[in-house]
Amino acid sequence: MEYKYSNDQKSLTKHDIHLVGVFSDKKLAHIDGVVSRESLDNIKRIIKTCNFSGKIGDHRTIDDFQTKKQLLLFGLGEKKKYGPLVIKKTLMQIFRKLLKTNISTVSITVDNLITSNKNEVTLEMIISSVENSKYEYKFKNEKDQSKIKTVSILSNKKISSKRFNEMLKISLAISNGISLAKELGNTPPNICTPTFLANTIKKLKSKYKSLKIKIIDEPEMKRLGMGAFLSVSKGSKQPGKIVIMEHMPVKSQNPIVIVGKGITFDTGGISLKPSPNMDEMKYDMSGAGSVIGVMKACAEMNLKKNVVGVITSAENMPGSQASRPGDVVETMSGLKVEILNTDAEGRLVLCDAITYAKKYNPKYLIDIATLTGACLVGLGKYPSGLFANDQALANKIKTSGDKTGDRVWQLPLFDDYFDELKTNFADIQNIGGRYGGAITAAAFLAKFTVDIKWAHLDIAGTAWEVGPNKGSTGRPVDLLIDFIRSN
């Protein structure tokens, strides 16, 4: 789709349909002058007689006989609750419906949509939300049916063409990063293997010259002493890989390092998972998918920040070479780990990658992982779990979560949880007790981060949706990009 910006309200007549957001107070001052006086009076009557509530999800299509075009009023809910979550959800629902029609040109008034308060809604966010609505999983044998060619942004505020093009570039980069993360998450596990992820990254490298990549294969892992990672990958015929993506345009700037868990399929290993919903374990690489999406976006927008993405990719399978409960392995850090549950494998691949990533002397290190079902039980499918060894870092992540609507909720890392990881047979065991599993998993990772500013995002509840809309969400790409741009 082509995006245009105009403060000429007369351009409304050039479009098939015009979108107007209305809060539950039903005030229409923002479209005074957009439509004719007769049409405005007609809209007021229709709102009253059709009982248009302005609630989220409510919409009415109205013919403007003066311009011979259609208006689509859509509800924004209460003004005090309006923010990123509302606008993203609303625009994506509307455009997904419009994309199935024969409409080719759309315009939207944004003056009452953009805010500058705590729940900030930006033009970039609006464009990326519209663009995100286009995403469909590409592996299906269906052609793109979208007929929308142009989306025009109408506002009373003047913006130079240069500034709008800059904002558009950023918006599309964010959307493309989210779409890539979704596509990787939705790809079947017989296709999306560790090698497939590595090849995907190689293709990005050929497109974006700012990216440098390094692939660490299993023989090099063995040389580096990554016994924890290898204990997971050795059960599968698919060789594990760690892939490093560097976007380092600024000299003498410590990078932000993001590390993603990339278990392309998680059977649980010898500690086999129950069979119901096991197909969803293809999403266990969503942390890695989000990192790849972020790195694509950073390169595409030519971001002047140093960022390093680390992908920890393996397949967790049972087999004659698979790890057993009771095995003890040595990590790259030198700490020895007793494996009591082979389904607690994400922390094993991550701990070696975190140790390796310290070589970059990161300003911040954030790992992203579908780490524990316990996080889903505790928080549901709305916020991601947040853990950190530095409160200032945690606060920055929470700010980005609020700004983007990609919410997080911080959980504690009290010393008591670390006590649950003690064992008689190694330095640390890979699971805690029955309760607080998300926290003891984070505590395990924290043992490898004592000398860096570190945060962990558990996205087990937020990385994919179930039900009729089953599929990858692309979270937390939006949050991470905002964090990197802001810090």
Positions marked active-site: 273, 347
Say how far apart CA 79 and CA 310 lie, in whole Å: 41
Q: Are 186 and 198 in contact (CB under 8 A)?
A: no
Question: What DSSP letter does each residue of 266-326 carry, written as one string?
Answer: E--TTSPPPSTTGGGGGGGGHHHHHHHHHHHHHHHTT-SS-EEEEEEEEEE--STTS--TT
Which residues, at least 6 apart from 370, have a Cβ–Cβ distance to it below 8 Å? 261, 263, 283, 284, 286, 287, 346, 458, 459, 460, 463
Which residues, at least 6 apart from 357, have a Cβ–Cβ distance to it below 8 Å? 257, 259, 308, 310, 365
Owner of token pair 């015929």: 237
Which residues, at least 6 apart from 87, have a Cβ–Cβ distance to it below 8 Å? 76, 113, 121, 125, 126, 129
Cis peptide before 318 (omega within 30 of 0): no
CB atoms within 10 A of CB 304: 11
Look up residue 463 and give its DSSP letter: S
Which residues, at least 6 apart from 272, have a Cβ–Cβ distance to it below 8 Å? 318, 343
Q: Is 473 exposed, middle or buried (0-12, 13-18, 19+ CB in 10 A)?
A: buried
